[in-house]
Amino acid sequence: MFISEAFAQTGGAAADGGSSLVGMLPLVLMFVVLYFVMIRPQMKRQKESKAMIEALAKGDEVVTAGGVIGKITKLGESFAHIEVANGVELQVQRSSVVQVLPKGTYK
């Protein structure tokens, strides 16, 4: 009573295949844009961060994720000892280092 009758459309098989391909085009374009805008830059930042953490050396001046600035005194496989003041040394995970400062920034 409230629902109208639906009739199947008759058409060629070639018309159906072409319209489904055109219908998928915006979805494919959306994924391509998503890759270049979000996924690729994130992978690049992750790769740079990993290279920076692997290149840490004794004497580097660094900033941790918590904002602590110090000089690396000892390096382990997964931990680094950072001197933040005379006689004050913190042990942090290497992955918590977010930036290596230029030499002479921290005294």
User: What is the per-residue pLDDT across 50-84, written as a single tens digit (0 to 9) for each?
Assistant: 999 999 999 999 999 999 999 999 999 999 999 99
63 in Cβ contact with 99 (< 8 Å):
yes
Report the pLDDT value the prediction gives residue 3, as an integer from 0 to 100.
72
| Residue 68, both tokens | 């602590």
64 in Cβ contact with 82 (< 8 Å):
yes
Q: By three-state DSSP, how is residue 71 classified?
A: strand
User: What is the per-residue pLDDT across 18-45, written as a single tens digit (0 to 9) for each?
Assistant: 678 788 888 999 999 999 999 999 999 9
Residue 10 has pLDDT above 90, yes or no: no
